Amino acid sequence: MTLASADLRAGRLWVRTGEIVLAALCYYALARASLLFASVNASATPIWPPTGLAIALVLVRGNVMLAAVFAGALAANLATTPQVLTAGAIAFGNSAEAFVAALLIRRWADGERVFHSTLGILRFALIVIAVAAPVSATIGVTALVATGFAVWGQFLPIWSTWWLGDLAGAILIAPALVLWARTVRGRDTRAISWNAAATYAAAAVIGLIAFSPLTPLPIGQRSALSFLAILPLMWSALRLGLRDTATTALIMSSLAIWGVVAGASPFLQATLNDSLVLLVAFIVAATLPSLALAAERREAQAALDQTRQELAQSQKLEALGQLTGGVAHDFNNVLMAIAGGLRALDRLEDERAKTMQTLAQSLERGTGLSKQLLSFARREPMHFETIDLKQAMNSVEAMLAQSLPQTIALEVRVGSGVWPVRVDRSQFDAAILNLALNARDAMPDGGSLRLQVENVVSDGQRGVAIAVTDSGVGMSADALARAFEPFFTTKKAGAGTGLGLAQVYSFAKHSGGSAAIESEPGAGTTVTITLPRA
């Protein structure tokens, strides 16, 4: 290990240690503030934002943040339950809650992207409601009862308050922190727009008027004004996006909590605990549907953008196809005339054999280009037939074994019971060959090429995915965006026509399927053709 690398590792260690210490301090401060609202027990409050902070920390920064959660929770609980065993058990429950929530979200709800879909938000809510919050509540209340800080007769009231507080904290804090973390790390490059800033301001104004003690309004009028809180949330969901919707909900809910504590809220009940329980119901009812609406709109916009791109690509291919087809047709007629002349010259003296061979090779290349152009333009009719992919891939494997150099390790995997597809067999073979030759060119020093065929089900539609993966140089983001464009190539002049991937895309679309590319520079490329089941 060099001195520079050792210094780099030491620097990273200090940075990570600083993150853990800062996270522990934030957790402690938030926990101490939240415990001021405790009522049924000194350790149980119906508002517990540290749960949302803990889940976000572990989900975004990894399990190492469990140390920060445990340390912050231990320090905060020692102030209310001075017995180390009790405080340690509660801190363990808080840490276990964050660990279980992050684990299930990563495995079942798309990790950090959990809030990017309606299904993800639903799964997040189910994880918190049914698993994570009950874990913390059960461990914490059991520890209180076992060590004499509560009696068994209080178990259920304390447990329900604890569970409700963790649920509210998770729904209120976690979405905003996770979504803003993606912005800070550059995965969401949107800046705060004037529209978003105005929405934040509107939420603050409505919250101050409806919930805060700053406005001398009677409770009845506040109750009517509280319905206005829905307006900035709906506007954020429909016009701004997930991050700004979560932020608007956080602003509104924070002001509502302040109003309850100050005794000037439409949610006031006989006791502070009852008031906070009613407030939690408001927070959950307002935040979750707003986030779900924002996620639904995001999915719809993504689908619309994808449809627009596919339409633009189809229109581009159609226009180029018409032009290319006309040129190729005329070019093919010229080639046929040349071929006839060459056959006539072939009967002349042998001294012209060398010239004849050169002309014949040029003619062969021209004919191949003409066929490729005609295929791309669909001037040649497609003859559909139902094929057995296992047999088809065996033939392809034999063909590729003769075409690829020995420095490339070829592997063909066909899943058991793979469904048949209905395609033009010659076009199918040409598409696979094009992908294999592209992979060969991306691995000049050798590598691995894997063809994998398996059944897939997407949105209830059954199909077969044919993935061609190489270990080559990969593609840049710019090249990846233009990969399916006709005549686009990254090869040197004369080394390719730029029609290979365009033919693959055209074949997939005309067969009722799709084609997609995944690639990173230096990490290889995977092209997947998905065809409908016959």
Residue 34 is predicted with a pLDDT of: 86
Q: Cα angle vertex 312, ends 308, 314, to 5°? A: 115
Phi and psi of 117, rounded to 5°?
-145, 155
- Average pLDDT rounded to a whole number, residues 136-148: 93
- Average pLDDT rounded to a whole number, residues 478-487: 76
Mean pLDDT over all residues of the chain?
Answer: 81
Residue 501 is predicted with a pLDDT of: 81
Q: How far is CA 165 from CA 36, 38, 139, 413, 442, in A?
A: 13, 10, 15, 51, 56
Min mean pLDDT across 15-29, 119-133, 283-297 is at 283-297
pLDDT in tens, 258-278: 888 777 777 777 777 777 778
Pick from 103, 102, 14, 21: nearest CA to 68 = 21
- Average pLDDT rounded to a whole number, residues 486-491: 66
Whether the predicted model's global pTM rises above the 0.95 cut:
no
Q: What is the CB neighbour count within 10 angstroms for residue 198? A: 12
Would you give the distance in Å from CA 171 to the centre of its chain?
20
Residue 494 is predicted with a pLDDT of: 47
- Average pLDDT rounded to a whole number, residues 34-57: 87
CA distance linking residue 72 with residue 75, whole number of Å: 5
CA distance linking residue 174 with residue 154, whole number of Å: 29
Are 53 and 135 in contact, with CB atoms under 8 Å apart?
A: no
CA distance linking residue 69 with residue 90, whole number of Å: 11
Phi and psi of 455, rounded to 5°?
-75, 145
Q: Which of the four pLDDT bands, split at 50, 70 and 90, describes residue 1? A: very low
